[in-house]
Amino acid sequence: MNFIDMLAARWRTDDTLLAVGLDPDPARFPPHLLERPDAIFEFCRSIVDATADLVCAFKPQIAYFASTRAEDALERLVAHIRARHPAVPVILDAKRGDIGSTAEHYAREAFERYRAHAVTLSPYMGFDSIQPYLAYPDRGAFLLCRTSNAGGNDLQMLDAGGERVFERVARLAASTWNTNGQLGLVVGATFPAELARVRALVGDLPLLVPGIGAQGGDVEATVRAGQTSRGVGMVVNSSRAILYAGQGADFAERARGAAQAARDEINRYRLR
Amino acid sequence: MNFIDMLAARWRTDDTLLAVGLDPDPARFPPHLLERPDAIFEFCRSIVDATADLVCAFKPQIAYFASTRAEDALERLVAHIRARHPAVPVILDAKRGDIGSTAEHYAREAFERYRAHAVTLSPYMGFDSIQPYLAYPDRGAFLLCRTSNAGGNDLQMLDAGGERVFERVARLAASTWNTNGQLGLVVGATFPAELARVRALVGDLPLLVPGIGAQGGDVEATVRAGQTSRGVGMVVNSSRAILYAGQGADFAERARGAAQAARDEINRYRLR
């Protein structure tokens, strides 16, 4: 099954729009885990196993693995998800963006080495920097569109001939760039009006929405602004608020509780 | 010595604006190297040792290492350059771009794990996605501005209130974003008119210019358009045309010949 169909199945059959972001920060791990040589893998595996039935995707952030020389933990983690939770897709949050020959190597990294089902990309270098990822017909790619950080205004909000730069990215991703139906967009939860604007521009395109939880995005406004007319179309990501809900021996149970609450709160505002 | 001063010393004292891009592609390695388990490291080390006196910087492209699980080769390579060629800075071509907490991890990857002197970054997420790199006061960062690929037109050429998006990036990088003099810009060699425009906007800011050699940029037009009034200010990168100048046992010697020719051709058009 391709990535978009996997996601749609999670939304409908498993009734969840929540994604758990896997940003492992050893400084915030429960003390008992730190004694283990494979603490990063064990932490993430515990979170994954405790929350898999509650999520539509997992989103590992590669920087957290790369900064600590833990690429092998990321490989093992995706292999574990594929083996134990085969219906749950993995979105590798990497925000790559480079010319074609280099992009081919990044695509190989994401899709062959790590075996992710989808990847996040930067649109700044244009369509030919996206194309090499689309050569993997069963995978997906989310392009940065309107990001949730303060600096997101610097370029994304520039007025370019009557539309903002982020609106241009949204239109391109929903039309000429989306040659095989593999694209989605990253739109932060902190600006519901712009999330609604993107939804209006892109039809049913999947939106990856970070920014609820620790980043402060409002769940009700986010879901009302970003869902499709059938109450789906979003991957609402929460990382720190779930990963670090507890710091004791019961951290995975606490993470499950936080994930369940987040999923239910999101579902409360979905159109049915 | 900080990165910008190292670069300036190479330009003036060593009389070179050339950078060699390290994009190791095992499919193009000399056959005798492929038998070695550390072929990627050995290939790059041979190129580095054969060309170090001819270059102002080395620019490893991280995708080529990540796609083949060769992060350790990249670590060893930078350690080798720092030990054997301590005056030559290393620019890690990674084009990262993410929110602050994640950018901190990418900065740690580039500057602490790999010990690069500078890194390439995407500006799409704005200033707060650049700031964590500037916290390393002796390092540098080149922001994507006007790229040499066809898709570079898609967003970079949009007219945003009387200036193109790439011009806006150039102005920001030369003024408010450049809080501590650590920034440079990536401007492709395939558009000399736009390279000249960027130079006019940014004063003496360092420009990293890929696109000569295999990508077809014209050296004379590139150097005339991009240099400062004192004939410096550019890091002119060539990768494939140097790395794969020969494919026999003498590949390093052939690479040296190609690098020497490229350095000399660049120098021919420099203001003195």
Choose, out of B40, B102, B120, the residue to mutate when testing the contact with A (most A CBs < 10 Å): B102
Largest CA distance in chain B: 57
Chain A residues in contact with B63 (beta carbon < 8 A): 96, 98, 102-103, 105-106, 109
Which amino acid does the sequence have at A212? I
Write down the pLDDT at residue B266: 97
DSSP A190-241: T-HHHHHHHHHHHTT--EEE--BGGG-B-HHHHHHHH--TTS--EEEEE-HH
pTM: 0.98
What Rg, from alpha-carbon coordinates, does chain A have? 18
Q: What is the pLDDT of chain B when averaged over all its residues?
A: 96
User: What is the per-residue pLDDT for A214?
Assistant: 65
Pairwise CB contact (< 8 Å): A158 & B168: yes
Q: Tokens 């440079």 label which residue?
A: B184
Written as one letter, the residue type at A174 is A
Cα Rg of chain B (Å, integer): 18
Taking CA atoms, B251 is separated from B19, B35, B60, B205, B238, in Å, by 18, 16, 18, 35, 16
Whether the predicted pLDDT of B213 surpasses 90: no
**What is the structure's pLDDT at B211?**
83
Per the CB < 8 A criterion, the answer to whether A58 and A48 are in contact is yes
Residue A119 β-bridge partners: A92, A141
d(CA B19, CA B14): 13
CB–CB contact B63 A102 (8 Å): yes
Q: By CA distance, what is A163's nearest residue in B?
A: B160
Contact A155 B144 (CB under 8 A): no
Whether the per-residue pLDDT at B127 is higher than 70: the answer is: yes
- Has A95 been annotated as catalytic? yes
- Predicted confidence (pLDDT) at residue A193 exceeds the cutoff of 70: yes
- C-alpha torsion angle, residues B6, B7, B11, B12 (rounded to 10): -30
List the single residue in A with minimal CA-CA distance to B170.
Answer: A155
Closest approach of A104 to chain B, Cα-based (Å): 9
Q: What is the mean pLDDT of residues B120-130?
A: 98
Q: What is the mean pLDDT of residues A56-68?
A: 98
In the predicted structure, residue B120 carries a pLDDT above the cut 70: yes
pLDDT at A257 over 90: yes
Tell me if A67 and B153 make a contact (CB, 8 A cut-off): no
Backbone phi, psi, residue A271, to 5°: -70, 140
Question: What's phi and psi for B229, nearest 5 deg?
Answer: -65, -15
Residue ranges with strand state E in A47-170: 57-60, 91-96, 118-121, 140-146, 159-160, 163-164
From A258's Cα to the closest Cα of chain B, the distance in A is 21
Phi, then psi, of A160 in degrees rounded to 5: -115, 90
Judge residue A171's burial from the number of C-beta atoms within 10 Å of its C-beta, 0-12 exposed, 13-18 middle, 19 or more buried: middle
Does residue B216 register a pLDDT over 80?
no
Q: What percentage of chain A exceeds 70 in pLDDT?
A: 99
B149-155 average pLDDT score? 96
Q: Do A169 and B156 touch (CB under 8 A)?
A: no
| Under 8 Å between Cβ of B151 and A134 | no
Q: Write the CB contacts of A181 (distance below 8 Å, at least 6 apart in sequence).
A: A4
> How far is residue A141's CA from residue A137's CA, in Å, rounded to a whole number?
11
Which residues in chain B have their CB less than 8 angstroms from residue A134's CB? none
Q: Is the pLDDT of residue A216 over 70?
A: no
- Identify all chain A residues contacting B125, using CB atoms and an 8 Å cutoff: 144, 147, 149, 151-152
Task: Give per-residue pLDDT as tens, A93-125.
Answer: 999 999 999 999 999 999 999 999 999 999 999
- The alpha-carbon gap from B62 to the nearest alpha carbon of chain A, in Å, equals 9
Residues near A261 by beta carbon (within 8 Å), at least 6 away in sequence: none
| Tens-digit pLDDT profile for residues A12-55 | 999 999 999 999 999 999 999 998 999 999 999 999 999 999 99
Cβ(B169)–Cβ(B129) under 8 Å?
Answer: no
pLDDT at residue B17 in the model? 98
Which amino acid would we find at residue B210?
P
> What is the spatial distance between Cα B190 and Cα B244, in angstroms, rounded to a whole number?
21
Minimal C-alpha gap between A124 and chain B (Å): 6
* Catalytic sites of B, residue numbers: 95
Local confidence band at B148 (pLDDT 50, 70, 90 cut-offs): confident
Q: Enumerate the residues of chain A whose CB falls inside 8 A of the CB of residue B176.
A: none
Mean pLDDT of A167-195: 96
Nearest-CA distance from A12 to chain B in Å? Answer: 31
Instruction: Using CB atoms within 10 Å of the CB of residue A104, give its burial: 0 to 12 exposed, 13 to 18 middle, 19+ buried.
Output: middle
Determine the pLDDT at residue B212: 84
- Residue A203: pLDDT above 80? yes
* Rounded Cα gap, residues A96 and A190, in angstroms: 23
Q: pLDDT tens across B5-59, in order?
A: 999 999 999 999 999 999 999 999 999 999 899 999 999 999 999 999 999 999 9
* Subunit contact A122:B147, Cβ cutoff 8 A: no
Cβ separation of A105 and B63 shorter than 8 Å? yes
Q: Which of B97, B128, B158 minimises the CB distance to A160?
A: B158
DSSP A60: E
Token pair recorded at residue B125:
């997420």
pLDDT over threshold 80, residue A210? yes
Which of A22, A149, A237 to probe by mutation at the B interface, max B CB count within 10 Å?
A149
Q: Which of A47, A41, A46 is nearest to A64 (CA)?
A: A41
Q: Has residue A148 got a pLDDT over 90?
A: no
Q: What is the pLDDT of residue B215?
A: 65
Which residue in the list A76, A80, A85, A95 is annotated as catalytic?
A95
Closest C-alpha to B170, from B159, B183, B181, B161 = B183
Q: Which residues of B touch A154 (CB under 8 A)?
A: 123, 126-127, 172
pLDDT at A211: 83
Instruction: Give pLDDT, residue A52.
Output: 98
Select from A53, A77, A58 the least CA-distant residue to A256. A53
Determine the average pLDDT of the residues in A237-258: 97
pLDDT digits (tens, 9 = 90+) for B177-211: 999 999 999 999 988 999 999 999 999 999 999 98
Count how many pairs of residues, chain A against chain B, have C-beta atoms within 8 Å: 163
CB contact under 8 A, A160 and B160: yes
DSSP state, residue A90: B
Kind of pairing between the strands at B118-121 and B140-146? parallel
Neighbours of A154 (CB within 10 A): 23
Give the C-alpha separation, A239 to A60, whole Å.
9
Q: Contact B242/B43 with Cβ under 8 angstroms?
A: no
Dig out the tokens for B134 from the structure.
């500037």
**Coil vs helix vs strand at A198:** helix
Given a cut of 70, whether residue A130 has pLDDT beyond it is yes
At B209 the three-state DSSP class reads strand
Q: Evaluate whether B120 touches B144 at the Cβ level (below 8 Å).
A: yes
Question: pLDDT grade, residue A212 (50/70/90)?
Answer: confident
